[in-house]
């Protein structure tokens, strides 16, 4: 899909530099001609030889051709010329991944004191920045101003992910997954129609909150990571994506229409509104089964040794969709279990009339709430069970979408 495309990949000094190796590999496998520029600090994290092996091209580290690199090797011009920064700037696309706060500042202010910054200054075509850094560095007003300046000048920015960072803190600043970066590259280069192009995908995510009083609620441990990964993956593959999400700590993926809700009833109303036009519906949200019958209008004071709250059942959104779905619509459900995984999942698949069920035992290591990975079984209407290995949720999202596409022409 990227055959013959000349792509310059800039790698800067971030712990996320190791992910750039996978980006280079994916681009190479897609047929792109990848030329890597590494800053001096990037070479502290990954050796240039890694990228040379993955791309089949020399790695560029010096501003002038023939200048010896740290390993004594020459830095040839791309086409044999003396000025690599001019030749590398003529790429169909320049992508900087990871992009540190330093390179963002240089690019925003037109500095050119090394090969990468000089190449960016000389670039006449599209440039994509994929920021990765500490959350406070990312949120710093100077960094945000630099990002705004780059966007205003026509440069593209793939927003970082949110979660645990290498520094031990949590927040925005994680480099997007390599597949997401490559999907954005394909989009920017006007690649061929992706497999979900023209389809509407509806995803639900997060754990609903059912109010007890103005300051308390009943909820669950869902982080929303799986649903958000599905929404991002579907958008990357060309779908028109609507994400109906209960409260989470995550930022909505780019290119996704986000509908914010809180309670199960609000989620039900939003889903019913968007369901009729959806081709694929993926119910990844953890909807509370019960809600307080009579939420207090004011904060309940601590009185007595016990507090009795009467709960009533919430509507079963998945079952309702199973009854409403029309020929051509695919409905995907989730089953998070703690025992009898297959039996409970198969019963849910039948009772809810879903086309594909994603089942996981949340007691297994790496498969519980809040994790970046998941260990699931895909259960099909024809009785097949597909055991998937432990995968990152970003990777698993694509496997689930592959399965959903696979059942779509066979379901009806």
Is pTM, for the whole model, over 0.85?
no
**Helices first, then strands: H and E counts in the chain:** 13, 21
* Catalytic pick among 79, 166, 167, 410: 167
6-188 and 200-297+304-407 agree in CATH topology = yes
What is the average pLDDT across 66-74? 50
Mean pLDDT of 363-374: 82
Tell me the C-alpha distance between 96 and 281, whole Å: 34
Tell me the two tokens of residue 402. 């592959």
Q: What is the Cα–Cα distance from 115 to 39, expressed in whole angstroms? A: 8
Helical spans, DSSP H, in 313-409: 317-324, 341-352, 393-407
Per-residue pLDDT, 325: 94
Burial of 125 (0-12, 13-18, 19+ CB in 10 A): middle
Q: Give the angle 176-179-184 at the CA atoms, nearest 5°.
A: 75
pLDDT tens digit sequence for 179-228: 889 988 987 886 544 678 889 999 999 999 999 999 999 999 899 999 99
**How far is the CA of 401 from the CAs of 191, 237, 279, 405, in angstroms?**
20, 10, 12, 6
Mark whether 167 is an active-site residue: yes
Cis peptide before 25 (omega within 30 of 0): no
Q: What is the mean pLDDT of the chain?
A: 89
pLDDT score, position 411: 36
Written out in words, the top-level CATH class of the domain with range 200-297+304-407 is alpha beta
Q: Looking at domain 6-188, does it have CATH number 3.40.50.300?
A: no
The 10s digit of each residue's pLDDT in 238-285 is: 899 999 999 999 988 888 999 999 999 999 999 999 999 999 999 999
Is the model's pLDDT at 412 over the cut of 50? Answer: no
HSE of 196, CA atoms in CB hemisphere, 13 A:
29
How confident is the model at residue 67, as a pLDDT? 58
Mean pLDDT of 151-155: 90
Model pLDDT, residue 65:
64
- Domain spans of the chain? 6-188, 200-297+304-407
């Amino acid at each position: 899909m990227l055959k013959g495309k000349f792509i310059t990949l800039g790698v800067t000094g971030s712990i996320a530099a190791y992910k750039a190796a996978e980006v280079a590999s994916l681009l190479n496998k897609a047929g792109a001609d990848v030329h890597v520029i590494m800053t001096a600090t990037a070479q502290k994290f990954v050796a240039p030889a890694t990228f040379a092996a993955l791309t089949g091209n020399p790695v560029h580290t010096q501003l002038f051709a023939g200048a010896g690199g740290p390993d004594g090797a020459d830095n040839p011009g791309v086409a044999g010329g003396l000025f690599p920064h001019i030749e590398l700037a003529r790429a169909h696309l320049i992508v900087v991944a990871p992009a540190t706060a330093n390179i963002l500042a240089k690019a925003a202010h037109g500095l050119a004191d090394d090969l990468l910054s000089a190449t960016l200054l000389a670039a006449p075509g599209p440039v994509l920045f994929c920021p990765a850094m500490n959350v406070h560095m990312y949120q710093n007003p100077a960094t945000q101003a630099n990002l705004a300046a780059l966007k205003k000048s026509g440069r593209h920015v793939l927003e970082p992910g949110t979660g645990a960072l290498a520094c031990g803190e949590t927040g925005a600043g994680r480099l997007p997954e390599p597949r997401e970066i490559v999907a954005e590259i394909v989009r920017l280069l006007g690649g061929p129609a992706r497999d979900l192009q023209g389809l509407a995908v509806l995803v639900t995510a997060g754990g609903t909150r059912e109010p007890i009083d103005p300051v308390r609620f009943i909820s669950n441990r869902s982080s929303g990571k799986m649903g958000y990964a599905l929404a991002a993956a579907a958008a990357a593959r060309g779908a028109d994506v609507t994400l109906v999400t209960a409260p989470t700590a995550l930022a909505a993926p780019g290119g996704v229409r986000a509908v914010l809700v809180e309670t199960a009833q609000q989620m039900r109303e939003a889903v019913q509104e968007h369901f009729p036009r959806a081709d694929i519906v993926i119910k990844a949200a953890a909807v509370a089964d019960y809600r307080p019958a009579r939420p207090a209008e004011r904060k309940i004071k601590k009185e007595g040794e016990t507090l009795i709250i009467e709960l009533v059942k919430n509507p079963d959104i998945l079952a309702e969709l199973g009854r409403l779905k029309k020929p051509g619509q695919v409905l995907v459900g989730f089953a998070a279990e703690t025992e009898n995984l297959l039996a409970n999942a198969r019963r849910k698949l039948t009772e809810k009339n879903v086309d594909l069920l994603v089942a996981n035992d949340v007691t297994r290591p790496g498969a519980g709430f809040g994790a970046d990975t998941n260990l699931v079984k895909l259960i099909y209407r024809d009785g097949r069970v597909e055991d998937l290995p432990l995968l990152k949720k970003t990777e698993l999202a694509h496997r689930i979408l592959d399965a959903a596409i696979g059942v779509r022409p066979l379901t009806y």
